[in-house]
Amino acid sequence: MRHRYHIGCLLLFFTLVIVVPAAQAESPGFLGQPGSAQKDAAVHGHDIVLPGISGDWGGTRTSLEDRGISIEGTYTSEFVRDFSGGTPGGNNVTYQDNLDLTMTFDSKKLGLWQGGTLFIYGLRNHGGDPSANIIGDLQTASNIEAPDQFIVHEAWYEQQFSGGFLSVLVGLHDLNSEFYVSDYGSLFMNSSFGIGPEMSANVPASLFPKAGLTFRVRVTPTNSSYVQTAICDGDPSTRSIHSTEGQLMLGEAGFSIGTATYKVGYWNHSADKVFAGQTFGNDYGMYGIIDQEIMHFDEDSTIGAFFQYGWAPAARNAITRYIGAGFHLHGMIPTRHEDDIGIAIARADTHLAAETTLELTYRLVLMPWLTIQPSYQIIRNPGGDAAIHTAKVGILRFEVIL
């Protein structure tokens, strides 16, 4: 009965989003892009200066884009240190990097048909896996941590109808590029600010570092509201469809009013779930997000705040609740109009104790193609274990748009 109640509440919210008018604003839930420079430009309205460090390839890059083929790349590297000493018997410093290579094909510019997009995303990861090998935290201090790999992370086709009112996507697709996204939270490095651990750590999901086969439908009734739903392979790590893996199904609705964006979502994983000696026929949870601009000083200087909440039933999950919140200060330093400063807190409740992370970060844009971002995180009860000392973690990240 509780399961049906949750579905009913979500459907009621979807109905309200469609029938209640909202102020004109950018449509929430935009597609994610590799590279924080592009994401930041989308959030704050800056022009993106392209191409990157490799230049225009003698005009070839611009010529390809005019014909409907965009090629982009981002190289991200970082040093991670646990100043509190790291896990027993382990090192306290490591290095890791991440390479994103993407190709986007626009069907209209290619002279085919209107509204079609083919997206291919190659991903290479290498490094020391700091959360797994040094810190021991649940929420994963760095959002580029992944096993060594070189894979096709995403490969999907999207078709828009009626001027974007309806959009259908199929293929290998990272859910967090569209679902459970906080624009202001995307500044931070801790993985929980990207997607809550009450979903990502409890069930297999089509997320970084390996997306799975997904079918997604989105309806955008106004410029300031949307409803979207997706069904995904139940275990993307296998890259194959098995009945025992089940499916992950999601629904999300969002709308904007003035400078605020609100989102609510529900997910259900249909595979059997074994937890604490009991077997359950499925797993499920709910989440909500608020992004709110709270002060606007001039064209470039703003202060925004965000709030995330996620819940999953305690009887069948190790992480039962997640709360994230923080402030995102943009362009607050004179002559540094594209820099960002952020402070945020992420709390994941477990059956033992809550792991709580406080993150302070500063994103410095040195060149249109180069950013440096230090992050300092204080992680209380790493792994949700109150017996483990507080971890103090520093990350120095370099990002180059190729």
Q: How do residues 228-271 score in pLDDT, each as one tens digit?
A: 999 999 999 999 889 999 999 999 999 999 999 999 999 999 99
pTM of the model: 0.88
Q: Give the residue numbers spanning the domain of 29.
A: 2-77+95-317
Number of folded domains that form the chain: 1
Q: Quick check: is 396 in a domain?
A: no
Q: Rounded to the nearest 5°, which phi and psi values hold at 4?
A: -65, -35
DSSP character at residue 216: E
Q: Does the pLDDT of residue 146 top 70, yes or no?
A: yes
Question: How do residues 285-331 score in pLDDT, each as one tens digit?
Answer: 999 999 999 999 887 899 999 999 999 999 999 999 999 999 999 99
List Cβ<8 Å contacts ≥24 apart for 191-195.
191/139, 191/140, 191/141, 191/142, 191/143, 191/145, 192/139, 192/140, 192/322, 192/324, 192/346, 192/348, 192/357, 193/143, 193/308, 193/324, 193/326, 193/344, 193/346, 193/359, 194/143
CATH of the domain at 44: 2.40.160
Question: How do residues 12-33 score in pLDDT, each as one tens digit?
Answer: 333 333 333 333 333 323 233 4
Q: Quick check: is 234 in a domain?
A: yes
Q: Quick check: is 328 in a domain?
A: no
Rounded Cα–Cα distance for residues 84 and 70 (Å): 44
Q: Quick check: is 237 in a domain?
A: yes
Q: Quick check: is 269 in a domain?
A: yes
Q: Quick check: is 331 in a domain?
A: no
pLDDT for position 1: 46
Q: Name the average pLDDT for the chain.
A: 88
Q: Quick check: is 73 in a domain?
A: yes
